[in-house]
Structure 1
Amino acid sequence: MSTPPSPAIAERNDGSSVRIGALVPLTRPGWVEAGQHLLAGLELAVSDVNYAGGIAGRPLELVVRDTAADPRRAAAAVDELARLGVAAVAGEYHSVVARAAAARADALGLPFLCSSAVLDALTEQPTEWVARLAPAQSHGWRIYADHLLGAGHSLIAVATEPSVYWASGTRVLREYLAPRGATVIELDARALAPKALCDELVRSRATALLLLVGHPDPAVPIVRAVRRDQRLAEIMMGAPAGQPECAEWATLLGDDGAAIPFLRYLPERLSPLGARVETALRERLADAPSFVAFEGYDTIAVLAEVLRTQGADRARTAGAWPRVAVEGTRGTIRFSRVPGISVWQWAWAPVQVVDRDPAQPDRFRILHAE
């Protein structure tokens, strides 16, 4: 799958295009809706770049590979894209998958601009080849923890599954909350059926339950079980990883999916560029775009600017990360070295804690913003 150049651009160049590889989860067990939104943003930005003249008159082309949330498949895709001669690789939503892609891109000397994955340790060692738009997990999840504390929660249960990503999130929460007098209790969502998990919540006396689990399973059955358990009528549920953002969440859960705060990376008010992109994305998706779609658009906006100024040379592209200054849909994007983060990082994209309004579940309420 690739995005063709506009006819006007195609007529003005010698037939060669500047190619960018795109990694997106488009099939299960990947979060397909997130992948579709990410791809919509990437493709819209490519279309806009080509409409504006491409890269020095050459069309920009997107070469898309489905990662299906599989790290090995992502690493193999990076190998293939490097052989195909792409100037850079972009995208990916799942953190564990992005980590595999980043490691391979680093080893091959292929620039990789990660759109959405937040795992702090995206590479084991510092690298010049990888940059990231999404806030690091430690940054966003600390903001989420502040929201929990502000809401009066000091005994917090997390329903979690085995994963580097979920384990990292649990560690961030525990290390941030413990010095502030709050306790994190782990519940194994693989070992406990939803009803048994409810029993454990009652015994723990937790006032909040965070869903550090996959969507739709087991997140949806857990939400249904908790909502139907009268003993847990006062418990707050939360999902910092953003599961309630997607339309499928509302379709599957209806009113039960409201009032579950999650993180998203949008400003309180979009810039004129952001508003224009939002309208175009809504037309492409036939639905309201999630923050992931804006991340996709901003990824191509950054890469296009770097390619215009540096050409398609991979080493020069990677060397340009610290000099980037691009007006994206959510603010001016610049990359820097952040302590504890091994890649070039935009510090930071805007962060919100939001939920679906119980009175109108297709409407989001901003509860906290930074």
Structure 2
Amino acid sequence: MNMPLPQSPVRIGALLPLSRPGWVEAGHHLLAGLELAAADSSTPLELLVRDTAADPAKAAAAVDELANLGVAALVGEYHSVVARSIAARADALALPFLCSSAVLDTLTEQPTDWVARIAPAQSHSWQVYADFLLAAGHRRIAVAAQPTVYWSSGIRVLRDYLTPRGGTLIEVDIAEVCDALVDNEATVLLLLVGTPEPAVPIVKAVRADPRLTDILIGAPAGQPEFAEWAELLGSDGTAIPFLSYLPDQLTPLGTRVEAKLRERLGVTPSFVAFEGYDTIAVLAEALRSHGSGRKTIAEAWPHVSVEGTRGHIRFSREPGISVWQWTWPPVQVVDRDPADPSQLRVLYSASAASATSATSPTSPTPRS
């Protein structure tokens, strides 16, 4: 069904990290995508933007404020722990939330019809990363992790997937990373930590240790995606594979949007910017087809069918995932090119995860 377009703008609450300790650059890219899509939408939208600063309590308070201001739905957020707080509060208030970029499987403790997600679930994307490591011949994989729900969930996904396939996951102390890598004969160090602290000092220490010249450093959560990483680490920050949620080729819409995002941001847009655009594209379709009532927006999730910037978007229910989920966004493993740290190379794609790899880890292809 098609609903008449509202005469006045529909208010949408946008939550994202715009100050420390949040990943601020991710927040700016996400906001650029949200704002561009809102400007492109035939449904008039007004974004009420709130900074979560990677703080779950601050985010929950913002949800209450936005609900009182009469928003029809919530969008955004990059940090999984914060998105959990938003989702829980939105569910309690019967307020639709379309999560843009957080991947934790259990955004809510119980299944809910009020929350849907654009980003892939961690159990899906991190298994792709594990496939990449196995295809490259790595079996002894060390993890330096901070004690949060998100990092702990990542460790569990990796261990459950790697162990039956001959891999060994070794947790090491952040303060003693270099010695632990040598003692455990690890060939990979995965950084399950925040950035720039302590990720940047760990990378510098490993790169400076002559015992560890052959160690692969990995960052599945995407710390090297943003320009700040290259600015802080230079050549030390290259050849560190991370997850990116872009396809091998953007849709025609994605190609047009990329040019506009590049102009807005002044840099190559990250996958997070495309997640932001796709979020509003989906929400605008839900508003067009089901109207601007909170209940009708939530009812639209299983019926939405939208051509996004990175593929066709539909939502379904997946085992172990408590929200409506796009199954599945594209997943790549990429890194920064040692020859030019400003450029990214595609190392592996989920589309060929059943084969050895989509692109050989030793023969990466550039991604502009």
Q: TM-score, length-normalised on structure 1? A: 0.92
Q: Which residue of 1 aligns with 2:291?
A: 311
Equivalences for residues 236-255 of structure 1 within 5 A: 236-255=216-235
- Shifted more, 213-222 versus 303-312: the winner is 303-312
Quick check: 1:161–1:188 contact (8 Å CA) kept in 2? no
CA contact (8 A) 1:240 1:263 kept: yes
Partner of 2:128: 143
Q: Percent identity?
A: 72
Deviation of 1:188 (Å): 3.0
Separation in structure 1 between the aligned mates of residue 91 and residue 197 of structure 2, nearest angstrom:
33
User: CA offset at residue 310 of structure 1?
Assistant: 1.3
Aligned to 2:197: 217
- Contact 2:74–2:97 at 8 Å: present in 1 too? yes
Question: 2:304 maps to which residue?
Answer: 324
Indicate the RMSD between aligned Cα atoms, in angstroms. Answer: 1.1
Equivalent position to 2:179, from 190, 199, 206 = 199
Do structure 1's residue 262 and structure 2's residue 246 form an aligned pair? no
- Secondary structure of residue in 1 paired with 2:281: helix
Among residues 13, 19, 35, which one is paired with 1:43 in the alignment? 35
State the TM-score, normalized to the length of structure 2. Answer: 0.93
Measure the CA separation in 2 of the matches of 1:138 and 1:82: 31
Within a 5 Å distance, the mapping from 1:104-119 to structure 2 comes to: 104-119=89-104
Structure 1 residue runs of 4 or more that deviate by more than 3 Å after TM superposition: none
1:173 equivalent to 2:126? Answer: no
The one of 68, 87, 90 equivalent to 1:83 is 68
3-state DSSP class of the match of 2:78?
Answer: coil
From 20, 26, 35, the counterpart of 2:18: 26
Say if 2:320 is the partner of 1:340. yes
Letter in 2 for 1:85: G
Query: Are the counterparts in 1 of residues 144 and 191 from structure 2 also a CA contact under 8 Å?
Result: yes
CA distance in 2, matches of 1:47, 1:108: 28
How many Å separate the matches in 2 of 1:69 and 1:306?
A: 28
CA contact (8 A) 2:173 2:180 kept: no
2:339 matched residue in structure 1 = 359
**The one of 144, 154, 158 aligned to 1:159:** 144
Shift of 1:338: 0.4
CA distance in 1, matches of 2:105, 2:252: 31
Per-residue CA deviation, residues 195-245 of structure 1 (Å, 9 max, x unaligned), is: x32111111110000000000000000001101101000010000000010
Alignment-derived partner of residue 5 in structure 1? none
Unaligned runs of 5+ residues in structure 2 are 351-368
Residue 330 of structure 2 corresponds to which residue in structure 1?
Answer: 350
The count of corresponding residues between Structure 1 and Structure 2 is 346
1:363 Cα deviation from its structure 2 partner:
1.4
- Whole-Å separation in 1 of the counterparts to 2:207 and 2:25: 25
- Structure 2 Cα separation of the partners of residues 27 and 17 of structure 1: 28
Residue in structure 1 matched with residue 215 of structure 2 by the alignment: 235
Whole-Å separation in 2 of the counterparts to 1:181 and 1:350: 26
CA distance in 2: counterparts of 1:363 and 1:67, whole angstroms: 30
Q: 2: distance between equivalents of 1:206 and 1:120? A: 28
User: Partners in 1 of 2:39 and 2:239 — Cα distance?
Assistant: 37
Q: Please, which runs of 5 or more residues in structure 1 have no aligned partner?
A: 1-11
Q: How far off is 1:13 after superposition?
A: 8.0
Contact in 1 for aligned 2:143/2:189 (Cα 8 Å)? yes
- Kindly indicate whether the alpha-carbon contact (under 8 Å) linking 1:42 and 1:300 is maintained by their aligned counterparts in 2: yes
Equivalent position amino acid for 1:291 in 2 = F
Structure 2 partner of 1:4: none
CA distance in 2, matches of 1:67, 1:364: 29
Counterpart CA distance in 2 for 1:173 and 1:344 is: 23
Q: Deviations over 1:23-52 (max 9, x none)?
A: 010000000000000000000001111xxx
Where 1:334 maps in the other structure, the secondary structure is strand
Among 92, 97, 106, the residue aligned to 2:77: 92
Question: How big is each residue's C-alpha offset from its partner over 1:141-187, in whole Å with a ceiling of 9 and x where there is no partner?
Answer: 00000000011111000010010000000010001001011110111
Structure 2 residue matching 1:174: 3-state secondary structure: helix
1:281 corresponds, among 261, 280, 286, to: 261
Give, as a single letter, the amino acid of the residue that structure 1 aligns with 2:96. P
